Amino acid sequence: MAGTYDVIVVGSGAAGMTAALRAAALGLHVLIVEKAHKYGGTSATSGGVAWIPNHGLGGSNDTREEALTYLDAVIQGPVNRERLEAYVDTGRDMLGFLGSLGVNFIPMPWPDYFAELAGSRTDRSLVMPMWNGRRLGDKFPLVREQFPRFKLFNRYAMNLEETFTIAARGKGWKRMLAKVIARYWLDQSTRRVTKRDRWFTSGNAVIGPLLEQLSTRNVEIRLETKLEELLVQDGKVSGVRASRFGTAYDIAARHGVIICAGGFEWNQELRDRFYPVKTSIWWSSTPQGANTGDALLAAEAIGAATEHTGEGWWAPTMIMPSISASNFEEVHQAVFDAGRPSSVCVNRKGDRFVNESCSYDRFGAGMVADQKKTGANLPCWLIFDSVFRAKFTAGGFLPSAVMPDKSIPIDWWDHYIFKADTVAELAQKLQIDPTKIENVVKRMNEYAAKGEDPEFGRGSTIYDQAFGDPTCKPNPALGPIVKAPFYAIPIHLGDLGTKGGLKADAKARVLDGNNQPIPGLYAAGNATGSPFGLNYPGAGGTIGPAMVFGFIAANEIAARASNSAPA
């Protein structure tokens, strides 16, 4: 199992696969080591969106200047300017490289998360089209599968357009639902092999074609292979000590090691060390036990510095039992649910604290700020009426047309979901002053009638309205909370990973405590500090930089290996 390679990549997510593919295309002998028994890392279970400004795809006229204007308006706090500009300048090259291999992203018409700021646009979030996973042959079942929340009835693959249309019961949703189900059952050749849908969507649609390209170049990927430590010789990272099923061995790297192993959201000790408020690993919506900060600790052991570790990529989540066994719990995202009309979010004192329709990361930041201020958040409450219940998901609770109240197990009520005939009775169950909640609901109903929220500006931007209900007038993000019965679920401060990690420069080189590059060590993705600092500019703000800096790291290693810039 030992050996010598030009480059060792730690992690097989979008960052690692992009880095390995670029390095292999530049003539380097590459090995990927992956701790899990599946390919794809956290990227495979994500929405698969890459936020890349100045991309030039689909006739976009976005520019470097416009992108930086927006990022300057968004970013609060210090960031590495050279690194930020390298990201904006190199995204187009990375996409061009993948496009030359037939791996083509397409722009989606989604608003940036700070749509009210100068330089914002609606074409910077990119996705991969549905992809036939059977092209991978025997690797098909080894790609990490999507969470149930990305599949219809935990079986049928849906792309993002299908997901949003069916979830919101948009125009033509019944026809689209029938199409999704028929597509699955008409695929008889796959049904004879596995229950898994052959069509890769979202994060799987990113990982699938990258894995196919790596396979054509015979890039070795060792699954169930954990990074134990980084090896250093003559002041340079010279390889890794890895282990598989407890057996450790050394692997040499002639030119560099690229850490793309994700963040530390499943390490409670690191969360307690870095985060400003008390959070739990069990609130995270990433694959359980996957990102435990092993690479960060290994790099710290040889003197690497960290940055931006004080926050995660926040995403509100809720917890509910497994359908098959109520004593086992599952985490479900509620990233759009909190902003749907006919609902409101309050802390445990009964006070609103945020524009509920803002982006999920801004919502999480609002939870953190309120927890610091009141100590009465984490969790907060999502309160909604029967109109909401009929139309929208509430975390893992599907609309009542699909999951009626009578189908919810009796032991879930007043533990995972709360219900009452009046707002006052619901407040009592939540141990909140009933008068306070009644007043909050009364104000929300007044705001819904006028279409304006003077408290927090809910529904005032195109982003807020994009994920509302277009049939709700005059503002798709504001609907009255009037139809009994009334419901509530607790919302936790979940995440899509960590924003902070190893400190890296514009060339993806990991820096030490004196801001000097550690020879031979590179990093990309959530293993590093975000180029945006503590901010989240748009959908795909994790995967976009992950892929770009994986690409940059490979270019830098190839240039140093040949003493000339790569073609």
Of 404, 399, 402, give the one whose Cα is nearest residue 384: 399
**CA 539/CA 527 separation, integer angstroms:** 19
What percent of the chain has pLDDT above 70?
Answer: 99
What pLDDT was estimated at residue 256?
97
Confidence of residue 139 (pLDDT cuts 50, 70, 90): very high
Of 434, 258, 424, give the one whose Cα is nearest residue 350: 434
What mean pLDDT do residues 470-479 have?
Answer: 96
pLDDT tens-digit series, residues 177-192: 999 999 999 999 999 9
- Beta bridge partners of residue 131, listed in sequence order: 200
Burial of 245 (0-12, 13-18, 19+ CB in 10 A): exposed
The structure's pTM equals 0.95
User: Where in the sequence of the chain do the CATH 3.50.50.60 domains occur?
Assistant: 1-146+203-313+496-567
What pLDDT was estimated at residue 363?
98
Instruction: Answer yes or no: CATH 3.90.700.10 is held by domain 316-493.
Output: yes
What mean pLDDT do residues 41-64 have?
Answer: 96
Q: Report the top-level CATH class of 1-146+203-313+496-567.
A: alpha beta
Q: Provide the pairing of β-strand 501-502 with 306-307.
A: antiparallel
- Beta bridge partners of residue 331, listed in sequence order: 319
Of 11-15, 467-471, 563-567, give the lowest mean pLDDT range: 563-567
Of 39-48, 66-75, 81-90, 395-404, give the lowest mean pLDDT range: 395-404
The string over 260-284, giving b where at least 16 C-beta atoms fall within 10 Å of a residue's C-beta and e elsewhere, is bbbbbbbbeebbeebbebebebebb
For the cut 60, the answer to whether the pLDDT of residue 564 exceeds it is no
**CA 511/CA 116 separation, integer angstroms:** 35
Residue type, 275: Y
pLDDT tens-digit series, residues 515-525: 999 999 999 99
What mean pLDDT do residues 549-558 have?
Answer: 98
What mean pLDDT do residues 312-316 have?
Answer: 97
Query: What six digits make up the tokens of 432?
Result: 């909140």
Of 33-47, 178-192, 325-339, 484-498, give the lowest mean pLDDT range: 325-339
Q: Which residues contact 499 (CB under 8 A, 6 or more apart)?
A: 263, 308, 309, 310, 311, 312, 313, 526, 529, 530, 533, 534, 536
Query: What six digits make up the tokens of 511?
Result: 């820096």
**CA 448/CA 437 separation, integer angstroms:** 16
E strand intervals along 220-342: 220-222, 226-233, 236-244, 247-259, 306-307, 312-314, 317-321, 329-333
Asked whether the CA dihedral 277, 280, 283, 286 is positive or negative, the reply is positive
What pLDDT was estimated at residue 360?
96
Q: Which SS3 state, helix, strand or coil, does residue 328 take? A: coil
What pLDDT was estimated at residue 323?
75
User: Where in the sequence of the chain do the CATH 3.90.700.10 domains occur?
Assistant: 316-493
Confidence of residue 148 (pLDDT cuts 50, 70, 90): confident
**Mean pLDDT across the chain:** 95
Query: What six digits make up the tokens of 211?
Result: 């894995």
Confidence of residue 153 (pLDDT cuts 50, 70, 90): confident
Query: What six digits make up the tokens of 352?
Result: 């609103």
Burial of 502 (0-12, 13-18, 19+ CB in 10 A): buried
Of 332, 316, 311, give the one whose Cα is nearest residue 364: 316
Q: Give the side-chain half-sphere CA count within 13 A for 14.
A: 32
Return the HEC string of 211-223: HHHHHHCCCEEEC
pLDDT tens-digit series, residues 334-378: 999 999 999 999 999 999 999 999 999 999 999 999 999 999 999
Confidence of residue 456 (pLDDT cuts 50, 70, 90): very high
- Which DSSP helix (H) or strand (E) runs through 469? none
Give CA angle at 521 (519, 527), nearest 5°: 150
Confidence of residue 567 (pLDDT cuts 50, 70, 90): very low
Of 146-160, 227-241, 536-550, give the lowest mean pLDDT range: 146-160
Of 319, 370, 377, 4, give the one whose Cα is nearest residue 149: 319
For the cut 80, the answer to whether the pLDDT of residue 199 exceeds it is yes
Q: Which SS3 state, helix, strand or coil, does residue 518 take? A: strand
Confidence of residue 325 (pLDDT cuts 50, 70, 90): confident
**CA 202/CA 73 separation, integer angstroms:** 29
What pLDDT was estimated at residue 161?
83
What pLDDT was estimated at residue 11?
98
For the cut 50, the answer to whether the pLDDT of residue 489 exceeds it is yes
Q: Which SS3 state, helix, strand or coil, does residue 73 take? A: helix
What mean pLDDT do residues 454-477 have?
Answer: 95
| Chain centroid, CA 508 distance in Å | 21
For the cut 60, the answer to whether the pLDDT of residue 566 exceeds it is no
What pLDDT was estimated at residue 364?
98
For the cut 80, the answer to whether the pLDDT of residue 169 exceeds it is no
- Which DSSP helix (H) or strand (E) runs through 510? strand 509-511
Query: What six digits make up the tokens of 524?
Result: 């990309």
Q: Provide the pairing of β-strand 156-157 with 131-132.
A: unpaired
The length of the chain is 567
For the cut 90, the answer to whether the pLDDT of residue 401 exceeds it is no
**CA 82/CA 84 separation, integer angstroms:** 5
Q: Provide the pairing of β-strand 220-222 with 495-498.
A: unpaired
pLDDT tens-digit series, residues 423-438: 999 999 999 999 999 9
Confidence of residue 171 (pLDDT cuts 50, 70, 90): confident
For the cut 90, the answer to whether the pLDDT of residue 41 exceeds it is yes
**CA 97/CA 209 separation, integer angstroms:** 13
Residue 379: asked if its preceding bond is cis (omega within 30°), the reply is yes
Query: What six digits make up the tokens of 145?
Result: 């599968």
Q: Give the side-chain half-sphere CA count within 13 A for 225.
A: 22
pLDDT tens-digit series, residues 375-393: 999 999 999 999 999 999 9
- Which DSSP helix (H) or strand (E) runs through 351? none
pLDDT tens-digit series, residues 66-123: 999 999 999 999 999 999 999 999 999 999 999 999 999 999 999 999 999 999 999 9
